[in-house]
Structures are given as C-alpha cells and as structure tokens.
A and B are shown apart, each in its own frame.
Chain A
Amino acid sequence: MIRNLGILVGLFFTGVLLYSFLMGAYTYLTEEHVETAEHMFHEHPKSLSQSSDGVFGKFDTAQLQRGYGVYKEVCSACHSLEHVAFRDLQAIGYNEAEVKAIAASFQVPAIDPETGEASTRDGLAADKFPAVYPNDVAARAANNNAVPPDLSLMTKARHNGPAYVYSLLTGYQNPPKKLAEEFPDSMPGTGLHYNPYFANLNLAMAPPITAEGQVSYADGTKASVDQMSKDVSAFLTWTAEPKMEKRKQTGLAVLAFLLIFTILAYLSYRNIWADKKH
C-alpha cells in the first residue's frame, strides 16, 4: 500500500521535474543569452596580505593607528563606527590620556542639564563613536540619495572583506570603452563613480583617498594612496573583530591540548581493544 502510493507520488514529482527540466532547457537553448554588465566587468578583489592573516597573525598596532588616522581624517566625515567605543582604541596602542583626547575631539549627543533639550558634549572614553547623521533620511539627503553604511563590521560583511575594502579604495577608474559601447545604461550617471570592484560597478561614494600625503602620518611612513588604503583596511579589520588576536592565541592553546588528548584517547582505545578482534 505505502509502496504503491509512494511510487505514484514518486512518478508525479519526477515527472513534473523532468517536464520542468525540458521546458527550462528548451528556453535556455532557444532564448538569446543576455550578457550583463556586472557579469562582464565586475572584478574580484585584488589580493592583500595583512599581518593579522594566518594562524599566528597579529595586528600591527602602528599600522592600525595610521589606519585610524585615515578613518578620522577621511572616512569619518560620512561613515560611522557605531560598534566601536573610544576605550577600545587602547587595544591598538593609544594610552589612556590619548584615548581621552581622541574621545573629546568628537561630539556625542547629550541632554542639556538645565533645559533638558537635546545638545552635545565632548565624548568620553566609555562612549561609542557617534553617528554621523541623525537618521537615514538626513544621510540620504546629504549624499545624493545613498546612505553611507556604518564601517564597524564592513570587513566581515563583505566576502574577502579586507581585500575588498582595499581594492575598492584603489579601484576607481574611467569606465572602459567597451562598457560605453555595449552597456550604455551601465555607465555611471550623475553623482556615480565607476569602480569594477563594486558589485553593480557604479557607486555613489566619490574616490575618498586621492592624493599622496592626504593624511599626515606621525610615524614617518610615506602616505601613498596605496599605503593609506592598506592601512585603513587593516584598521577596519580590527574594528570588525577586535578579539581576533585573542581568538587565534586561544585557539592554538586549545588545539594543542586537544591534540594531546586525542592521541592519549587513541592509545587508550587501542589498549582497551588490544585483545579484541573487531
């Protein structure tokens, strides 16, 4: 009974699927194959190696501080960092007084103690980086109808994130001739900028890092466009996962322990089964 019903159900689904396959294959073969601009021009991120890569990877605090400088001078005009608190910056090598000074250079929302009205005050170490715009509507209005996303998690929110950020920052270029010829609709419109590393090729952010020395580096590193882009993506790798270094160190200890345990468990297993054929 069950088997007879089963065979009927089976024949039904298999039949429908084969029918769909034939229909689909027919359309696929007869329909003209449309190539999309994204498909043709979108590029995977360039390869980027960072000191935090790999099992033994560690953050390079000097680089993170330079990267913070780039964020502060360039990106922070439009992008927030809402999951990061000023106190967190101690982890990248700033001391308490420096953290306080950095915090105080930002204005955070507050309530006027006299009138109870919304106002602002200097940031404190315990505060998080403040939002740049009061809300999405304001963000849109100020940015040609595009909301600059928060950057705290950017390198984890994109596939191959650090390399993506680096490639995007250094990837602005003039649209290729072929694009204009074959996909005139995909040419950057007003306020848009061509960048093959961006999923739909044209993004609303104007090239942010454009000139050598745009950010002054205290440690004497030459502030080339490439260097600044690398530094800020390192910084954003840290903001996305400040605990990465601790994670890898803990992982090594845990793995070492587990390997020894597993070897012991194996020997014990062999020992107990020694006289049992199986």
Chain B
Amino acid sequence: MSFPWASQYNPTNPAMKWIDERLPLPRLVYNAIGAGYPVPRNLNYFWNFGVLAGFALVVQIISGIILAMHYAPEATVAFNSTEHIMRDVNWGWMLRYMHANGASFFFIVIYIHIFRGLYFSSYKAPREMIWLLGMVIYLLAMATAFMGYVLPWGQMSFWGAKVITGLFSAIPLIGPTLQEWLLGGFAPDNAALNRFFSLHYLLPFVIAGVVILHVWALHIPGSSNPTGVEVKQESDTVPFHPYYTAKDGFGLGVYLVIFAAVMFFAPNFLGHADNYIAANPLSTPAHIVPEWYFWPFYAILRAFTFDFLFIPAKLLGVLAMFASILLLFFLPWLDRSPVRSGRYRPLFRPFFWVFVVVVLILGYCGGAPAEEPYVMISQLASAYYFAHFLIILPIISSIERPDPLPASITEAVLGKDGEEAPAAIDTIATTGGAATQPAE
C-alpha cells in the first residue's frame, strides 16, 4: 500500500527501535497517521470530519464507560439512577451531558462526513470497500444510539423502544412474534432494558473495530481529494504528519468549542423534554418523535399513508425506511460516472443540492407532528429521495458531459505552470522530504 515516495519509518530513539523490531506498532502508526502516509495536499475542511468522527466515538466510549459505573439497568430504578448521576455523582451532570450531546455531535459529524462522500463521490472505485464499511459503522451507530436513548427510561425512551420495535411487527407472518422476541415481553420492560444496555455497551467496541477496517481500507488507495483526480506524483501529496495533524488539531479545536458551547449552555436543546418524565406504560406523550438524527427516516416511514395494491401502508413505510438506508450500500454501482468530484459534474451538482435540501426538509417534517401539510411534504420529498439515488443518479451518469479535469492535483493547486516548479520538487524529494524547502 501507499506510494513509493512515502517516507520510511526509521526510528532513531532506541526504545522505539526496540519496540518496533519486536512489535511493529510504531511503524503501523507512522504509516497510518504519521509522516509515512502521503495525503493529497489539496484536501479542504470537509476532510477533517473523519478524524472528528473517530474522536467523537472515543468521547462516547469514555463517557459511556463512566456512566455505566453509576447507572442501573433495572426498570424501577433506571430513571432514578440517571438523576442520581445528575445530582449526586461527582461531575456526573457533566459526564451525562457529554454523553447525551456527544451522541448528537457524533451524528452531526458523521452526516457531514457522508455528504462529503456523496458530493465528491468518495464511494467510487477503488474506494467501494471504504464506503461499505462506513455504512456498516453508520448502521451500528444508529442501533447503538437508539438503544442508548432507551436507557434513561424516560417517556421517550419507553415509547421509542415500543415504536421502533413495533416496526418489526409490520413484517408479514413473523412480525408480532419477532417484536416479542426483541423485547423479551409484550411491552418494553426489564428484559428489553437489560438487553439494550448489554448491546449498547458492546456495539461501540464493534464500531471501533469496523473503524479500524475502514481506515485500513482507506490506506490501500489513499485518501481521495476535492478534484477527484488520483495522486500521480510526489508533489501531489504531503505527509499526514505534520501537515494534516496540524490541520486536524485546528479542526478539533473548532469542534470542541461548538460542542462545549452546546453541552454547557444548552445541554437539553437537542433532547426532548418528555424524557425527563419517568417511563409510564399507561400514557403516551402527545407528540412522540425519535432523536433528531433519525428524523429524515422517520418522515419516510410516516409518508406511507395508503395501502397500495395488496401491501398495507404500515409495511410499505417500514420497507421504504429500511430501503432508504440500505440503498446507500449500492451507491458505488448506481452512480457510474467516471468523474468523481461534483466540481466537474455540471449536471450532477444541481441535483445534489436539491437532494441536500430534500433531506433537510425530510428532517424537519420527521420532527413535526404527523399532520398536514407535513405528511404531503414528506411524500414529495421522500419521492425525490428515492428518485435521486435510484433513477436520477444512474441516468445522469450516462448522459452527463463532465467539465475538463485538471491533469493532476499539483496542477489544480498551482496552475499549469505553477510557481512551485515540479522539477525542483522532485529532485529534492529524493533526499527524503525537505521537499517543501524551496522558496515559493
């Protein structure tokens, strides 16, 4: 893997050398996120979000392990134990707000990361596997977040568990039995709470494992870039460290400022007031919605209001909701345009922005009450959602005339006869990395 000009790990520190000879872990890190990983020099800020997603996952795991030290997964005490965390545990309020808001921020980051991939077609060959593994992470994260939201055992937790497992009851024949099996009862109770806690604890570590695969797969072709033109020569890249470590450090700072502002000053803004009411199996809140990151899919689910032929609306909604997520797995084979970056795809671009707006509309409708006009708007928006991926993208890829691509990343950055003479770069490059010394 990697490019021939990648810098080789050559430890001068005797301790590192000793370790590296016995377990080449330092080498692995060096080649993965150190100076040994050449990265296109032209990445924009959207490329920060991969590292941020990894960071957000670590925050969830650390804060989660700590919450689990104080939380009690038992239906009669779960709600009180969360309040115990908020009131009596040292810094408990901070750790809980960190975890609850951290989940939202994890999804904000993941969504930006995914839309980056959609615009710059990061899913195309040779990066299909990276995309597929990313979708697996996304699915696992949704399952994890859903089960985590059940744990505090408030009204939204309880009714969320009931409604989401209720989706499975739409499956013909086995549905109702399946729902009982998932819950371990006729309604959410101890059995469900305990298994959700067990899985909520487990899945993040599975996610971490898949993240490693995701990054491994990334290092085979290397990172893509905003031009979508593959790396051709050394002047196209810079070593990850220190260039992108510095940029990611800055990105992390900005992320943390926003995260801290929400977590400390509006910690319940992204949450739902009803979850501060203890679960009550006898009364459903007037307006039940999942967490905001599920809203677009919730809107699709609710857009199916009429039976069609012999298929009941409930089943259609469930099928469509799952299909809307699963179709993303097939994206690399739906969009066959040889050009990656949206920058050079004049026909694709407007449809992409319509798609972004449609998803925002779906999100808004998913969080709104199930009334008109939201249902009608969701129906049109959902129709576009499916059409975009399954009809429009495949058609565009065969009729579009892409704009001319730059010959290389270097050319895109420096112009055809950039001040940074490629020849000079190449010669210096052979000495091992002082490539950046010549005055520009």
Contact = CB atoms under 8 A, between A and B. Distances in A.
Nearest to A260: B253
B100 interface: no
Interface string B93-121: 11001000000000000000000000000
Interface in A151-202: 152-153, 156-159, 161, 199
B304 A16 contact: yes
Interface stretch (B330-338, B340-348, B353-361): B330-338
Interface SS of chain A: helix
Nearest to B414: A277
B254 A262 contact: yes
B279 interface: no
B233 interface: no
B257 A272 contact: no
Interface string A62-89: 0000000000000000000001000010
- For chain B, the bracket of interface size reads 35 or more
Interface in B67-105: 80, 83, 86-87, 93-94, 97
A248 B379 contact: no
A58 to B, nearest CB: 14
Given A13-B383, A157-B273, A6 B305 contact: no
Interface residues of A, number: 58
A26 to B, nearest CB: 11
A154 to B, nearest CB: 8
Interface in B281-301: 286
A246 B97 CA distance: 13
Contacts of B181: none
Nearest to B319: A13
Closest 9 CB pairs of A and B: A251-B264, A10-B390, A262-B253, A21-B379, A157-B276, A17-B383, A13-B386, A265-B250, A2-B333
Given A247-B264, A259-B257, A266 B250 contact: yes
B28 interface: no
Contacts of A117: none
B205 interface: no
Interface stretch (B129-137, B212-220, B240-248): B240-248
Contacts of A13: 320, 323, 382-383, 386, 390
Contacts of A21: 376, 379-380, 383
B277 A242 contact: no
30 contacts: A3-B333, A6-B390, A6-B394, A13-B383, A14-B387, A14-B390, A16-B304, A16-B320, A17-B303, A20-B379, A24-B305, A24-B376, A157-B274, A157-B276, A158-B273, A240-B276, A243-B87, A247-B93, A248-B264, A251-B265, A252-B264, A258-B260, A261-B256, A266-B250, A268-B246, A275-B439, A275-B440, A277-B413, A277-B420, A278-B43
Contacts of B419: 277
A128 to B, nearest CB: 10
A273 B261 contact: no
A166 to B, nearest CB: 16
Given A13-B323, A262-B254, A269 B247 contact: yes
Contacts of A275: 436-437, 439-440
A48 interface: no
Interface string B146-170: 0000000000000000000000000
A242 B276 contact: no
A58 B83 CA distance: 22
Contacts of B257: 255, 258-259, 262
B306 A19 contact: yes
Contacts of A276: 41, 238, 243, 436
A250 interface: yes
A6 B330 contact: yes
A111 interface: no
A259 B259 CA distance: 12
Given A7-B394, A272-B246, A153 B83 contact: yes
B350 interface: no
B249 interface: yes
Contact of B390 (A9, A55, A153): A9
Interface in A1-50: 2-3, 6-7, 9-11, 13-14, 16-21, 23-25, 28
A88 B86 CA distance: 13
A212 interface: no
Nearest to A24: B376
B247 to A, nearest CB: 5
A258 B437 CA distance: 32
B268 interface: yes
A273 B379 CA distance: 48
B65 interface: no
B391 interface: yes
A268 B238 CA distance: 16
Given A3-B334, A153-B277, A278-B42, A14 B253 contact: no
Contact of B386 (A17, A19, A55): A17
A96 interface: no
A278 B41 contact: yes
Contacts of A118: none
A199 B286 contact: yes
A28 B376 contact: yes
Nearest to B395: A7
A241 interface: yes
A277 B263 CA distance: 37
Given A13-B320, A14-B391, A278-B42, 4 more contacts: A153-B277, A243-B86, A251-B260, A268-B249
B252 interface: yes
